[in-house]
Amino acid sequence: MPAFEPVLFARINKPDSTSLKSWQADGGYSRLKEFLSMAPADVTNIVKDSGLRGRGGAGFPTGLKWTFLPKDHPGPIYLAINADESEPGTFNNRYLMEKDPHQLIEGIILACHAIRSNRAYLYLRYEYGTSYRVLDAAIRECHAAGILGKNIQGTGFDLDIILHRGAGAYICGEETGLIESLEGKRAWPRIKPPFPAIEGLFRKPTIVNNVETLCCVTHILYRGIEWFKSIGVQPDPSNPRDPGSFGPKLYCVSGHVNRPCCVELPLGVTARELIEEHAGGVWKGRKAKAVVPGGISMGFLSDKELDTKLDFAGPGKVGCLGLGTAAVVVVDDQTSMVDVLHNCCRFMSHESCGQCTPCREGTHWMTKILERIRSGNGRSEDLDLLLEVAGSMGIIPGTTICGLSDGAAWPVKNAINKFRPEFEEYIRSRKSSVTSAQKMMAAH
């Protein structure tokens, strides 16, 4: 197998990589006119045939999503770009936006052409100040160069990108929560159906795509379907419903490693390879105890499962929820899983939008139980209670309005099922991770 050559990250270390000139020097926008003169359906078909799956977490086939738009809709149709990157441990979109904005903008233009949209809303996480400034400058440059705005390069295609800074909530990254937030409302995810492709932003058909997904669209069009399909994992022949995991993917590795990094690799790399070869191994010479495969809502891999392939199907085979954002967080063997799980639950409880009863109350309850365990007052029956609560929050994925509830329940299910002896020992020995100072704080 030939050495993998990064594509998405090909330019991030170049000087002046954010400028229009530099992107054009590397061939960017060179075939834009050609692609814009293609029929929108043809562009959609290319993306569909490439097998590109959304990089935001759910892995839904991008081209298929585009075809859900109503045919012959008089418009407007909107594209919303989800840049509200807030899954803990995830920072791939940030690199893409800060270092190579034109790669994204070209993807946006191509996607908008494919879905016949003349307006794209880029929903940017508020905390990403640098990304905002870089993208803002890049969009201005494009307008000045006739790459955005009216009649792009004489093709008759109009497009405006509206850069919208978010309001600092995890739930704004949920497809419909993002749409509500864009409309100026509380980011409460909507009930589906109708799906956004039928009725989304401002009650118009809307496609919501992740930043990395759109960057891939750029390269699929320039390099072709064959190139894209040559990378990654082929569909499992024994499972006719598996569309495969094609293309390059940005993996973020963080946590207890020597060299936290964001690295572009073909889909299907193992967690062990990521840690050992790209992140410099587990820090302080320790061993990994647990690894989050793709953001904490996907659950945990135990140390025995490190050879799991991190493609769209892999983590699911070992009881995780999925690949998620491919944000790998490493937990070393000196860290208590009780503390790790408590941290996950605290995050989810803080970020639950509060709409659905199971998520609003369940996340908070699980956090309280774990707080009690951490203060040395755990009971052996708490573990089964936690499992039951987690079980009723997502009876099977999808019993609440959005996926946050499932994502909050999954790490609990995984951690207790895979590390039960550790939890039992923690409770039996009345260990406590809370200092007396923290206890005093909690009492007030």
Partner 1 sequence: MATVLVNGKEVEIGANERLNCIQVASKVGEEIPAYCWHPELSVVASCRMCLVEVGDKKPDGTVAMQPKLVPGCQTPVKDGTVIVSDSPKVQEARKATLEYLLLNHPLDCPTCDQAGECYLQDYSFNYGRGYSRLNEPKNIKPDKEYIGDQITLFTDRCIMCTRCVRFTREISGSAELQVVSRGSHEEIDIFPGHPVNNPLAGNVVDICPVGALCSKDFLYQQRVWWLKSTNSVCTGCSTGCSITVDQNEDRVYRVKPRPNPQAQGHFMCDEGRFGWKYTHSDQRLVSPEIRVNGQVSSRDWDQTVISVRNAVKKAAAGKGKLAAVLSPWMTVEEAWLLSSFLRSLSPNAVLALGPVRVTGHDEHFPKDVHGKPVTPTKFTIRAEKAPNRNGVQAVLSHFTGDVMPFEELLRLASAGQFSTVFLTGGDPEGWITELQAEAFSDVESVIVQDFLPSPVLQHATHILPSGTFVEREGTVINHKGLAQLIRRSVRGPDGTRPDTRILWELAERTGLPQTEVLRREISTAIPALAALTNPELRELGTLLSTAQPAGASA
**What's the closest the beta carbon of residue 84 comes to partner 1, in angstroms?**
15
Is residue 400 a contact residue for partner 1 (CB under 8 A)? yes
Q: How many residues bind partner 1 (CB under 8 A)?
A: 35
Residue type, 396: I
**Residue 415 CB neighbours (<10 A):** 27
Is residue 316 a contact residue for partner 1 (CB under 8 A)? no
For the residues of 86-122, what is the DSSP string, one character each? -STT--HHHHHHHH-HHHHHHHHHHHHHHHT-SEEEE
The stretch among 35-43, 67-75, 105-113, 362-370 that binds partner 1 (CB under 8 A) is 362-370
**What's the closest the beta carbon of residue 383 comes to partner 1, in angstroms?**
13
Member of 81, 363, 413, 414 binding partner 1 (CB under 8 A): 363
* Closest C-alpha to 373, from 331, 421, 335, 425: 425
Is residue 364 a contact residue for partner 1 (CB under 8 A)? yes
Using CB under 8 A as the criterion, what x/- string covers residues 117-156 for binding partner 1? ----------------------------------------
The b/e string for 335-360 (b: 16+ C-beta within 10 A; e otherwise) is: ebbbbbbbebbbbbbebbbebbebbb
**What's the closest the beta carbon of residue 438 comes to partner 1, in angstroms?**
16
Member of 18, 352, 409, 426 binding partner 1 (CB under 8 A): 352
Scan for tokens 């379907």, then name that residue.
225
Member of 333, 398, 425, 429 binding partner 1 (CB under 8 A): 398
Is residue 213 a contact residue for partner 1 (CB under 8 A)? no
First to last CA, the chain: 61
Is residue 195 a contact residue for partner 1 (CB under 8 A)? no
The stretch among 125-133, 266-274, 332-340, 343-351 that binds partner 1 (CB under 8 A) is 343-351
Member of 200, 362, 403, 407 binding partner 1 (CB under 8 A): 362
By beta-carbon proximity to partner 1, the closer residue of 144 and 385 is: 385
The stretch among 122-130, 152-160, 271-279, 368-376 that binds partner 1 (CB under 8 A) is 368-376
Using CB under 8 A as the criterion, what x/- string covers residues 162-191 for binding partner 1? -------x----------------x----x
- Let me know if 418 is exposed, middle or buried by CB neighbors in 10 A (0-12, 13-18, 19+): buried
Beta bridge partners of 124: 83, 165
Q: What are phi and psi of 47, to 5 degrees?
A: -65, -40
By beta-carbon proximity to partner 1, the closer residue of 101 and 177 is: 177
The contacts found for 269-273 with CB under 8 angstroms, 24 or more apart, are 269/309, 269/310, 270/306, 270/307, 270/308, 270/309, 270/310, 271/301, 271/305, 271/306, 271/307, 271/308, 271/310, 271/328, 272/306, 272/307
For residues 177 and 125, is the Cβ–Cβ distance under 8 A? no
Is residue 355 a contact residue for partner 1 (CB under 8 A)? yes
Using CB under 8 A, list all residues that contact partner 1.
169, 186, 191, 349-358, 360-365, 368-369, 371-372, 379, 385, 388-389, 392, 395-401
